C-alpha cells in the first residue's frame, strides 16, 4: 500500500469505524461461512483487518487470531476495542512474515485490490500457511472460502 493510501485510511479511520455495516445480512452470512470452517485450536492470520470488528467476532472460537493492518489509525481503533485473549492486533504490511507462522487459516477480506502486488502478497501469505491449511478471501472473482486437508 502506498503512503497516499495509508494516509487516506488514516484520515477516514474514525468515520469508517463509526459507520454501520451496509449489508448486515451479507456480513453475518460471511461470518457464518468463515466460522463454519474454523476449528477451536486454529491459528488464523487476517490481513487488512481495518478496525478489527471481524477479528473480534470470529477470534474467540480459535486458538489465535492475529489481525494486521498497515494503517496506524485503523490499528489504534482496533486496539481500543474490548477484546479477547485469542485476538492480537499488529500494525504491519500484508506480506509481512510472522513468528506465529505457520497458520491454519489466512483471511483477506476486501484487501487484495489495495496491495501493490497481489501475486507477491499471496505468495508471501501462502508461505506462512500450514500444509493442508485454508484461505479465505473476500473479493468478487478472487476465491471462495476453502479449507483443504
Q: What is the pTM of this model?
A: 0.86
Do 145 and 106 form a contact (C-beta atoms < 8 A)? no
Cell 494503517 sits on residue: 71
Do 51 and 17 form a contact (C-beta atoms < 8 A)? yes
d(CA 145, CA 15): 29
d(CA 93, CA 120): 12
Query: What is the full per-residue pLDDT of the chain (149 aa) written as tens digits?
Result: 777 888 888 898 999 999 999 999 988 988 998 898 899 999 999 999 999 999 999 999 999 999 999 999 999 999 999 988 999 999 999 999 999 999 998 888 887 777 878 888 888 888 898 887 655 554 433 344 444 44
Count the alpha carbons within 13 Å of 48 in the hemisphere toward its beta carbon. 22
Q: Is 136 helix (H, G, I), strand (E, B) or coil?
A: strand
Amino acid at each position: 500500500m502506498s503512503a497516499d493510501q495509508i494516509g487516506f485510511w488514516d484520515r477516514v479511520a474514525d468515520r469508517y469505524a463509526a459507520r454501520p455495516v451496509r449489508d448486515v445480512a451479507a456480513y453475518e452470512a460471511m461470518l457464518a461461512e468463515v466460522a463454519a470452517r474454523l476449528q477451536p485450536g486454529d491459528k488464523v492470520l487476517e490481513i487488512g483487518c481495518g478496525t478489527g470488528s471481524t477479528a473480534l467476532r470470529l477470534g474467540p472460537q480459535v486458538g489465535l487470531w492475529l489481525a494486521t493492518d498497515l494503517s496506524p489509525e485503523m490499528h489504534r481503533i482496533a486496539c481500543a476495542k474490548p477484546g479477547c485473549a485469542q485476538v492480537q492486533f499488529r500494525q504491519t504490511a500484508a506480506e509481512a512474515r510472522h513468528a506465529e507462522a505457520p497458520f491454519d487459516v489466512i483471511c483477506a477480506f476486501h484487501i487484495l485490490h489495495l496491495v501493490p502486488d497481489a501475486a507477491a502478497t499471496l505468495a508471501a501469505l501462502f508461505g506462512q500457511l500450514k500444509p493442508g491449511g485454508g484461505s479465505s478471501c473476500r473479493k468478487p472473482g478472487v476465491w471462495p472460502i476453502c479449507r483443504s486437508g
